[in-house]
Structure formats: C-alpha cells, structure tokens
C-alpha cells in the first residue's frame, strides 16, 4: 500500500505521519527544500524517518494515480525525473494569496502578504522599512507581526471588512483556541502603536519605478470608496492579501469535483475520485490547525487505518465551523471593481488593462475562453493563477451574469511549467528504486 502525499505544509505533514503510522509506505512530495510549507517557514519540521521525503520536487502532471515529478533547483532544466505510482494520493497543495487589482499594484514594492511573510519568516528579509498592510482576514495580523520582527515600521494595518461580524461567533473562536492567538497579535501591534483600521484599504499605489506612496480610503461594506476619505501615505512597500486561492491544478487534473471553488471531500477527506484524498487549504481556508487535523484524517483514510482518528475528526469539525465563520466575516466586496482605472493592469503577465477587458467584452466575449483569447488575460506564464478569478468576477460584474465556463481558469494539465527538453526526456513509467 503506497500513499503519496503532495505538499509539505501542515496538512501534508500530518497526512504523511498518519499514513506511515497506519503502516503504509509513504512518499511525501514537497516543492520546498525543507518541510513545513508556507506556514512553518523558517522553522523546519520533522518528518518521520519511515517517510520517503522527496524535497525540492514538483508534481507537473498526473495520469490517474501516476504522478510525474521533477526534482531539483526550481526552474532548472537539469532536474531529475521521478514517476510515482500510488495506491492512494493525498493532495495537500495549499493555497496562495488572493489579491484584487488596484491602480499601481503592478509596481515593484507591492507584495502579497504571503510574500512579505515568506521573506520575513523564512529568510529574515524585510520587504521595506515603512509599510502598510492591507486586505482582509486574520492572516494580516501575523504578517504585520513578522514584519515588525525583522525591523519594519508597520504604519497601519487595514482590514477592509469589520471585525464586528466575529462577535457573532465567540464560541467558535474560543473553541479553536483563536482568542489567545488574536490577543497575542493585538499585544504586538499595541506595543508598537500600529493602528488597525477596519473598513479601510489601500486602493491605489503610486510611484514611477517602485512604490513610493499609497492611497488609503475608507470603504463602505461593499468595498466601494467613501468619497472624501482618500489620503496619501508615503511608504517603500505595501503588503496586500484579500484571502486565498486554492492550488487546484492536480485536483482538477485528477478529475476531483469542486464545490464553491474548493475540492469537495467527505468526512474522511476522500474526494470524488477513488483513491484521491485532499486536506488543508485546497479543501477550504481554515488555518494551519484545521489543515493539520484534516491531514491526519485524510492520511489515515488513505492508508486504510483500522481505527478512525477520532480526536482529529473532532478537531476538523470544530475547525470547519471556524472556517465557515471566516468566510462569512471576510468577504471580498464587489465595490472593489470601482477602484480600477481604465489603464489599471488586471493580468500582470500579459499587461492586460481593465480597458482591454472592456473592449473584449464589448466585442462579444461572454465566456472565459473567448475573453482570454480576445484580451490575452490569463495566457501568460502564470496561466491565470493570479488574475483568473478576478477576470471572471470582473467580466461577470460587467455582463451582469456569471461566465458559463468560469472554472476554465482552473484547468492546467501541466500543473507547473517545465522545460521542453525535460518533457522530451521524461520517463513514462516508475523507476525501479522506489
């Protein structure tokens, strides 16, 4: 019984651990050199010695339960191929920051909150000296804390929604132990006199060759700007995050059913495809504790453990209530489309502006495929990973109805780019040494 776990964050590590404890042969495939994922960056985690840990390894394609992997330095043409056949796969591929476009967001010095976090926590590198953190969701607080730790002056933290929604879920927060965490962040921010403002956001960034200032404005509940509240703040960097987007390439490649943009799983972490399990942020955004609990459950199930992991299953139920509250408390407001100017870049790779999208829509593009080809949005190197969701949302807002094939942006049979020469040399079958 071989279980292949994809992803070395909290969910993947827990899944690998649970599966190996249940007696399965486990391979952990992780694109990072050290286990821990985005969450545990800078504090490498232990992996059970019975787990075969393929670090710096990227799954670039799946053919059923056969995984095609390339191992070695990122984007090098000289990586080693591996082909893995699995009896069960656990997808723990995580999520990346969602950022909604605003004028100037393509300037150097504008970072996602996750980038600032990865550089600060993982490498001790500060993205700037005077920084505003803006977006929505509790993740902004640990990002601000990490920036403070590397010596950055965090000028303010802007939450586009109101925290008041959370008052409806006091027990949920207490149940998952989030109150203590929030209190700790509040303490750090308070000590450094960093104001946290709600219903406010960075709605534009300014500068020639890098960001030198941002426009901060107060927002209505739908995220439209309250007139007369715009003010300019001098910065040398800005960190933005408007929630997270799951990394769905492998799940979609395997044919897993999605619900509301996430991989649908049952109570054991099983997806709609036999032998394929999923855990962590790819199934819904709920933080590291929930991800680890889901990983433990999915890893056990994938390895056909005789005993169900009762404690982890209970933690999953608690955590999912928190996750639902998170979604309710931190929506992305439709008024954000009003932040865009005609020349605001929407697709960063192909430098497609809001105006270019409007032209394509005016010419009759009414589905993702046509919109992509007519505007070039989503056709660049990132393949719509950054802009896909926003392009689909923006087009739906302009047209007054959702696009019929909005999911088309998720379909990337090549889960990550590889060099043509690597593809030409790839083995088709598993090697003997595994």
Binders in 404-423 for other proteins, by CB under 8 A? 404-405, 412-414, 417-421, 423
- Contact map string, positions 13 to 42, toward other proteins, x by CB under 8 A: ------------------x-xx---x----
Q: CB of residue 43 vs other proteins: minimum separation in angstroms?
A: 11
Confirm or reject binding of residue 101 to other proteins (CB under 8 A): no
- Binds other proteins by CB under 8 A, chosen from 180, 364, 400, 401: 364
Which segments within 42-129 are labelled E, that is strand? Answer: 52-54, 57-63, 66-71, 80-85, 88-91, 95-97, 110-112
- Binds other proteins by CB under 8 A, chosen from 3, 86, 92, 116: 116
Q: Which is nearer to other proteins, 152 or 172 (CB)?
A: 152
Confirm or reject binding of residue 379 to other proteins (CB under 8 A): yes
Alpha-helix residue ranges (DSSP H) falling in 94-219:
113-117, 123, 140-149, 170-175, 178-191
Confirm or reject binding of residue 122 to other proteins (CB under 8 A): yes
- Binds other proteins by CB under 8 A, chosen from 366, 396, 397, 407: 366
165 closest CA partner among 336, 334, 328 = 328
Confirm or reject binding of residue 142 to other proteins (CB under 8 A): no
Confirm or reject binding of residue 149 to other proteins (CB under 8 A): no
Report the side by side order of strands in the sheet with 231-234. Answer: 200-206, 213-218, 231-234
Phi, psi of 232 (to 5 degrees): -100, 135
- Binds other proteins by CB under 8 A, chosen from 15, 65, 127, 155: 127
Phi, psi of 303 (to 5 degrees): -90, 5
Confirm or reject binding of residue 381 to other proteins (CB under 8 A): yes
Confirm or reject binding of residue 132 to other proteins (CB under 8 A): no
Confirm or reject binding of residue 300 to other proteins (CB under 8 A): no
Confirm or reject binding of residue 74 to other proteins (CB under 8 A): yes
- Binds other proteins by CB under 8 A, chosen from 57, 93, 112, 300: 112
- Binds other proteins by CB under 8 A, chosen from 23, 43, 76, 229: 76
Q: CB of residue 277 vs other proteins: minimum separation in angstroms?
A: 20
Q: Which helix (H) or strand (E) holds 375?
A: helix 368-375
Q: CB of residue 37 vs other proteins: minimum separation in angstroms?
A: 10
Confirm or reject binding of residue 171 to other proteins (CB under 8 A): no
Q: CB of residue 104 vs other proteins: minimum separation in angstroms?
A: 11
Piece of 171-179, 312-320, 333-341, 348-356 that binds other proteins (CB under 8 A): 348-356
User: What is the CA angle 433-84-81, rounded to 5?
Assistant: 75
- Contact map string, positions 237 to 256, toward other proteins, x by CB under 8 A: x---------x-----x-x-
Q: Which is nearer to other proteins, 315 or 349 (CB)?
A: 349
Q: How far apart are CA 239 and CA 189, in angstroms?
A: 16
Q: Quote the DSSP letter at residue 51.
A: S
Is 238 strand, coil or helix? strand
CB atoms within 10 A of CB 422: 18
Confirm or reject binding of residue 322 to other proteins (CB under 8 A): no
In this structure, the strands spanning 66-71 and 80-85 are: antiparallel
CB atoms within 10 A of CB 119: 18
Confirm or reject binding of residue 70 to other proteins (CB under 8 A): no
Confirm or reject binding of residue 370 to other proteins (CB under 8 A): yes
Is 44 strand, coil or helix? coil
SS3 assignment for 199-213: CEEEEEEECCCCCCE
Q: How far apart are CA 341 and CA 98, in angstroms?
A: 20
Query: How many residues are recorded in the chain?
Result: 434
Q: Which is nearer to other proteins, 53 or 218 (CB)?
A: 53
Q: How far apart are CA 305 and CA 26, in angstroms?
A: 13
Q: Which is nearer to other proteins, 77 or 190 (CB)?
A: 77
Question: For 139, left (φ over 0), alpha (ψ -120 to 50), or beta?
Answer: alpha
Per CB under 8 A, contacts with other proteins among 176-195 are none
340 closest CA partner among 212, 233, 223 = 223
- Binds other proteins by CB under 8 A, chosen from 162, 374, 396, 397: 374
Are the CB atoms for 152 and 117 separated by under 8 Å? no
Confirm or reject binding of residue 375 to other proteins (CB under 8 A): no
Residue 134 CA, chain-centre distance (Å), reads: 16
- Contact map string, positions 204 to 243, toward other proteins, x by CB under 8 A: -----xx--------------------------x------
Piece of 3-11, 74-82, 223-231, 266-274 that binds other proteins (CB under 8 A): 74-82
């Amino acid at each position: 019984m071989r279980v292949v776990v994809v992803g070395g964050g909290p969910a993947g590590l827990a899944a690998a651990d649970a599966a190996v404890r249940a007696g399965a042969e486990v391979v952990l495939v992780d694109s990072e050199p050290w286990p821990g994922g985005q969450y545990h960056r800078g504090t490498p985690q232990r992996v059970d010695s019975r787990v075969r840990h393929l670090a710096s390894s990227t799954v670039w394609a799946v053919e059923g339960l056969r995984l095609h992997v390339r191992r070695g330095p990122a984007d090098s043409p000289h990586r080693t191929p591996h082909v893995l056949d699995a009896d069960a796969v656990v997808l723990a591929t995580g999520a990346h920051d969602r950022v909604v476009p605003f004028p100037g967001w393509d300037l150097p010095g504008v970072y996602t909150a996750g980038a600032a976090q990865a550089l600060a926590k993982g490498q001790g590198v500060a993205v700037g000296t005077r920084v505003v953190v803006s977006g929505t969701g509790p993740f902004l607080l640990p990002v601000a804390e990490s920036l403070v730790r590397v010596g950055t002056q965090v000028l303010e933290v802007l939450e586009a929604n109101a925290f008041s929604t959370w008052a409806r879920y006091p027990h949920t927060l207490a149940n998952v132990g989030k109150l203590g965490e929030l209190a700790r962040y509040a303490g750090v921010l308070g000590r450094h006199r960093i104001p946290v403002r709600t219903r406010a956001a960075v709605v534009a960034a300014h500068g020639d060759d890098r960001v030198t200032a941002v426009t901060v404005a107060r927002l209505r509940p739908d995220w439209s700007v309250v007139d007369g509240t715009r003010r300019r703040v001098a910065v040398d960097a800005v960190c933005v995050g408007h929630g997270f987007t799951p990394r769905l390439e492998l799940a979609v490649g395997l044919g897993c059913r999605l619900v509301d943009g996430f991989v649908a799983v049952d109570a054991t972490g099983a997806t709609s495809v036999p032998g394929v399990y999923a855990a962590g942020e790819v199934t819904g955004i709920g933080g590291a504790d929930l991800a680890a609990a889901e990983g433990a459950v999915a890893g056990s199930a994938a390895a056909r453990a005789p005993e169900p992991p009762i404690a982890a299953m209970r933690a999953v139920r608690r955590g999912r209530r928190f996750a639902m509250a998170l979604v309710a408390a931190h929506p992305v407001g439709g008024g954000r489309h009003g932040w865009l100017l005609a020349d605001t870049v929407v697709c960063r790779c192909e430098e497609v502006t809001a105006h270019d999208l409007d032209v394509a829509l005016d010419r009759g593009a009414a589905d993702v495929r046509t919109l992509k080809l007519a505007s070039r949005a989503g056709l660049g190197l990132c393949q719509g990973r950054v802009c896909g969701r926003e392009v689909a949302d923006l087009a739906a807002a302009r047209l007054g109805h959702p696009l019929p094939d909005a999911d088309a942006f998720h379909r990337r049979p090549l889960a990550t780019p590889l060099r043509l020469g690597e593809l030409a040399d790839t083995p088709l079958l598993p090697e003997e040494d595994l």
